[in-house]
Structure 1
Amino acid sequence: MLLWIVLVVGAMIILYGIVPTVLIRKANFRVYRKGASPGMIALTFDDGPDPYYTPRLLDLLKKYQVKATFFVVGKKAKQYPSIVKRMHDEGHEIGMHNYRHISNWFIFPPFLGKGLRKSANIIEQITGTRPIYYRPPWGHFNLFTPFLQKKYPTVMWTAILGDWNVKVGALELHKRLKNSVEDGAIIVLHDSGTTFGADELAPEQMLAALEWLLKEEKAKKMRWVTITDLLNAQTNKQISSI
């Protein structure tokens, strides 16, 4: 009996979550992965806000005049509204990363939609601006997420660098960051280490590696923009070419 339960649950996860994830990623269905404008790059951060690391990250971005996009966890946004407000006030963009950091493989449709609406309401109450974009935790989709993508365009990435793992080390992470700098890239990093599978101190090395990168000439020549700015530049370019 136990074996049958395991097999049934496994089959449900495969059909409900894994198969849609593979198909949506492969087809790039309603998914943004990269911009097309020369000299522009989007830096994005998942899993925050974090009361210790996110303010330090905001200080760093301000120091180098970099704009970024934060995909925040709704529950954390509710806990730390002043940090979310600071993100907004300093010109960064805020997107959603589920109300709790749970894989969509394990969330049933009504709860996923309700969680995103709740997250959007929280962010709007704090900033006065309703979030547009969504990034699912771990990039996991399910059978229901295509319907939500009509309302919340999904942003994936050009490069995901493993910065949640302290074993990567700041030097290796800097190397990966440097290799990821290219026209239209969407880079994902993490400003919190408290989610499942992450190392609590990992954002420390992320901050170090990112500052090393931003000091370099190659990075200084790029325009570090929000997702909206990156995609709007792409749209304007397409319109002007008609």
Structure 2
Amino acid sequence: MRVLWLLLLILTVLLLFICYSILPTVIMRAFALGVFQRSKVPNKAALTFDDGPDPVYTPKLLDLCLEYKVKATFFVVGEHAAKHPEIIKRMQKEGHTIGIHHYRHLSNWFLSPWAVRRQCRQTADVIESITGIRPQYYRPPWGHLNLSVKWASAPFKIIMWSAILGDWRLGLGREKLKKRLLDNVNGGAVIVLHDCGVNPGADEEAPAMMLRALEEFLDEIGGQYNFVTIDALAG
């Protein structure tokens, strides 16, 4: 009897988890319910970067953006931003858009609505204290949503993507990443890359590979696309 009750309890918890976390993620992303994933603006695309700022790789990325006249969108982790305010100031000064990830890189699948709200607001507070401007856009870590995320993350607009390329894995390699970039860039695309490798599941040196692939991609793509901030697509 105890085993039966234990199995019933496990099944109940699993069902609740699926209904709270996995099912809303699948439905909201499949049908773009309450989230922005791409637009149909011709000849414009958005390069977005998650998980930073990183004291080594983000400045190199900003140099690359300057060289190729790219305006990007950075979804930053609050605790990293608090440690490197000078990088956040540089992002703002050079015309990039700064959005929020979480204060710590935590999945919404395991957070209560109030914890999600706290993660968002704490990160926004950090960015506002550095730039004087409150962020408008939010990207959940790993793209994980939950049943309450639309309410919990308000008033921030949830930004997902049209292409996520796996660049957090060093084993992907520069050539394959460049090919994925070339295959997925199109009018209105929102592409995700990562400028920091210290968060869970990432390889610490993967951003170095990403930067090499990105530079080659920008060389090869030439002036075919105008790389703009997310404001130009979702604003």
The 3-state SS of whatever aligns with 1:195 is coil
**Aligned match of 1:231:** 234
User: Are the structure 2 counterparts of residues 15 and 80 from structure 1 closer, same or farther at C-alpha, using a change threshold of 3 Å?
Assistant: same
The question of 1:133 aligning with 2:137 is answered yes
**Aligned match of 2:27:** 23
- 2:125 is aligned, of 121, 143, 160, to 121
Amino acid of the residue matched to residue 91 of structure 2?
M
Q: Confirm or deny: 8 A CA contact 2:113 2:152 kept in the other structure.
A: no
The 3-state SS of whatever aligns with 1:207 is helix
Which segment is superposed worse, 1-10 or 94-103? 1-10
Structure 1 vs Structure 2 CA RMSD? 1.5
**Aligned match of 1:189:** 193
- Cα deviation for residue 197 of structure 1 reads 0.8
- Cα deviation for residue 41 of structure 1 reads 0.6
Amino acid of the residue matched to residue 225 of structure 1?
V
Superposition map of 1:44-123 within 5 A: 44-123=48-127
- Cα deviation for residue 6 of structure 1 reads 4.4
| Superposed CA offset, 1:178-207 (max 9, x none) | 111111110000001111111111111100
Amino acid of the residue matched to residue 75 of structure 2?
F
The 3-state SS of whatever aligns with 1:188 is strand
- Cα deviation for residue 5 of structure 1 reads 5.6
Gaps of 5+ in 1: 233-242
The question of 1:179 aligning with 2:183 is answered yes
**Aligned match of 1:211:** 215
Q: Confirm or deny: 8 A CA contact 1:120 1:130 kept in the other structure.
A: yes
Q: How many residues align?
A: 231
CA distance in 1, matches of 2:164, 2:213: 14
- 1:220 is aligned, of 219, 223, 227, to 223
Q: Confirm or deny: 8 A CA contact 2:47 2:227 kept in the other structure.
A: yes
**Aligned match of 1:240:** none
CA distance in 2, matches of 1:51, 1:128: 22
User: Are the structure 2 counterparts of residues 4 and 55 from structure 1 closer, same or farther at C-alpha, using a change threshold of 3 Å?
Assistant: farther
TM normalised by structure 2 equals 0.93
TM normalised by structure 1 equals 0.91
Q: Confirm or deny: 8 A CA contact 1:30 1:149 kept in the other structure.
A: no
CA distance in 2, matches of 1:79, 1:39: 36
Q: Work out the percentage of aligned pairs sharing the same amino acid.
A: 51
CA distance in 1, matches of 2:90, 2:154: 29
Gaps of 5+ in 2: none
